[in-house]
């Protein structure tokens, strides 16, 4: 298994809102839910999931966060200028959260894993002609994501020494 560490500042489409990402993606999803279709203004969202500790925002950020449904739900952050997604967070326990970063916010040359699955595929706008697994239904989609993230967290390798040192300076 190839580990892809990411260490870069991502930005929304207009470049006004930034997020620093320094870590290993847990998984990559193509989400066809109606909320993602509305927020991303396209047929599906292409997002990478990181541990919440791997994503930080500048102290002076102006990102506007909101929930689009009752919990459990993502708290989605959008740029106040272009209104496009910057990052979303979801608390999974009192001591851990996940961060969802749109693929479009990374530089095109960034090496990232391919999508692991299409979720909420029953809400798709159009059929996808690819070999990526497709998951229909709310509970099957949620369960598939939970399994993929849990598996990735359990298989996680120790942080590279330089990465661990850079974190100590930020705390």
Q: Name which of 107, 112, 91 is nearest 30 in CA terms.
A: 112
Return the minimum-mean-pLDDT range out of 54-63, 134-143, 160-169: 160-169
**pTM across the whole model:** 0.89
Element spanning 7, H or E: strand 6-11
**Which pLDDT tens digit goes with each residue over 73-111?**
899 999 999 999 999 999 988 889 999 999 999 998 889
Tokens coding 75: 């708290």
DSSP 80: T
Domain ranges for the chain:
6-158
CA 42 – CA 5 distance, rounded (Å): 28
Domain 6-158 carries which CATH code? 3.90.1590.10
Helices and strands: H and E segment counts in the chain: 3, 10
More confident residue, 24 or 1: 24
Radius of gyration of the chain measured on its C-alpha atoms: 16
């Amino acid at each position: 298994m190839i580990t892809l560490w990411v260490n870069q500042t991502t930005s929304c489409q207009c470049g006004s809102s930034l997020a620093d990402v320094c870590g290993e993606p847990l998984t990559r999803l193509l989400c066809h839910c109606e909320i993602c279709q509305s927020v991303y203004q396209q047929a599906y969202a292409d997002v990478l999931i990181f541990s919440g500790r791997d994503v930080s925002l500048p102290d002076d950020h102006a990102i506007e966060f909101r929930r689009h449904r009752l919990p459990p739900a993502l708290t989605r952050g959008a740029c106040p200028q272009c209104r496009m997604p910057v990052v979303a967070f979801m608390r999974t326990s009192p001591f851990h959260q996940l961060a969802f970063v749109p693929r479009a916010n990374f530089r095109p040359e960034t090496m990232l894993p391919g999508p692991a699955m299409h979720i909420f595929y029953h809400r798709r706008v159009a059929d996808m002609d690819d070999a990526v697994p497709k998951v229909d239904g709310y509970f099957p989609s949620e369960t598939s994501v939970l399994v993929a993230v849990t598996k990735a967290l359990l298989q996680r390798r120790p942080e590279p020494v330089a990465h661990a040192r850079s974190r100590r300076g930020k705390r």
